[in-house]
Amino acid sequence: MNKRRCTLALVVALATTGNALLLNPSTQRLVAQERDAKTDLPAGSRNLVGDKRALGAVGGPKTDTFTIQSGQAITWDKIKFRGLEKASVHVEFGVFGNLILEVFDHLGNQIARDTDAGSVLKVEWTPAFSGDFRIRLTNRDTIAFNCKLKTN
């Protein structure tokens, strides 16, 4: 990739990024993210179960089944996707709800987001490089949801 193309990609990423701090839904204030000493992942991060049969996420598709409470944000950190290959993250929660699905690159730049109310959220992008990405799901609704997250 030439220098001009890299600069353009960085400018576009910086133009769409949010703050690297997290919004605490209960206080509506930005807070620094605590890290777990054992895993070096943010506190509250979850691990995904891998399957090595497909492209997109390094090591194959990943899934996680979980419950997200009202006002809660769940983060999956250090999910590796291959550069120049289509990547997707899909969350199903079965009933109409108000959730936000976001993907961030290793620098904290927001690269994909789905805020459409409904029973499914999906984001797709083509990473310019192979690397770690962070997935965050935030429940803006007044009820809890049983969810299933899948990557390609």
pLDDT digits (tens, 9 = 90+) for 62-114: 899 999 999 999 999 989 999 999 999 999 999 999 999 999 999 999 999 99
DSSP state letter for 19: -
Dihedral class, residue 52 (left if φ above 0, else alpha if ψ from -120 to 50, else beta) = alpha
Q: What is the four-CA torsion angle of 38, 44, 50, 54, rounded to 10 degrees? A: -130
pTM of the prediction?
0.65
Beta bridge partners of 45: 75
Predicted confidence (pLDDT) per residue in 103-147, tens digit: 999 999 999 999 999 999 999 999 999 999 999 999 999 999 999
Residue for token digits 């929660």?
93
Q: Cα separation of 50 and 76, whole Å?
A: 13
CATH number for the domain that contains residue 81: 2.60.120.380
Structural domains of the chain, count: 1
Q: Which domain holds residue 7?
A: 3-151
Strand partners, 149: 64, 91
Q: Could you tell me if 74 and 147 are in contact, meaning their C-beta atoms sit under 8 angstroms apart?
A: no
7-55 pLDDT per residue, tens: 333 223 323 333 333 334 444 443 444 444 444 444 445 555 444 333 4
